């Protein structure tokens, strides 16, 4: 191998090392749309993400209370800080962290700025698996 060939290969490797992280950032930008913040104001969301129907509403009662048929002590029209989120009609439990971010029971190692972003992250982690229905 000549010196010229070695230098060309070295430049190729250096260029690849510089391009790969940039390409990963571009791919991430397409994976996580910037409209994730649209629900930060507390608006409900409903969309199809990666073939899954996701829906989130700020509930008047918790999903578990509604599932068990319990009544809330709240007056009608009063919303709680709790989000009721479903993926393909099955409940997804979200938790709010002390810093205001959200995490899901599916992807509990990653924090997300909004419930929509946390739901999308859970769908990404689920792949083609389904959430379980709540136990009765």
Element (H, E) at 90: strand 90-92
pLDDT digits (tens, 9 = 90+) for 33-66: 444 455 455 688 999 999 999 999 987 655 555 5
- Which one has a higher pLDDT value, 52 or 134? 52
Pairing of strands 90-92, 52-58: unpaired
Exposed, middle or buried by CB within 10 Å (0-12, 13-18, 19+), for 114? buried
pLDDT at 23: 65
Q: Alpha-carbon distance 81 to 95, whole Å? A: 11
Q: What is the mean pLDDT of residues 66-79?
A: 52
Instruction: Please determine, for residue 83, whether its predicted confidence score (pLDDT) is greater than 90.
Output: no
Instruction: Please determine, for residue 3, whether its predicted confidence score (pLDDT) is greater than 50.
Output: yes
pLDDT digits (tens, 9 = 90+) for 87-122: 998 899 898 888 888 998 888 888 899 999 999 999
Q: Alpha-carbon distance 33 to 47, whole Å? A: 13
pLDDT at 68: 58
pLDDT at 43: 80
């Amino acid at each position: 191998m000549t010196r010229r060939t070695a230098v060309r290969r070295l430049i190729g490797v250096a260029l690849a090392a510089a391009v790969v992280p940039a390409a990963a950032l571009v791919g991430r930008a397409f994976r996580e749309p910037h409209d994730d913040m649209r629900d930060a104001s507390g608006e409900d969301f409903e969309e199809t993400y990666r073939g899954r129907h996701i829906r989130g509403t700020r509930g008047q009662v918790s999903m578990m209370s509604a599932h068990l048929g319990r009544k809330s002590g709240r007056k009608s029209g009063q919303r709680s800080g709790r989000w009721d989120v479903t993926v393909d009609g099955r409940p997804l439990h979200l938790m709010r962290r002390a810093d205001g971010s959200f995490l899901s029971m599916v992807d509990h190692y990653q924090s997300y700025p909004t419930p929509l972003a946390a739901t999308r992250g859970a769908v990404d982690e689920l792949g083609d698996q389904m959430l379980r229905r709540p136990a009765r």
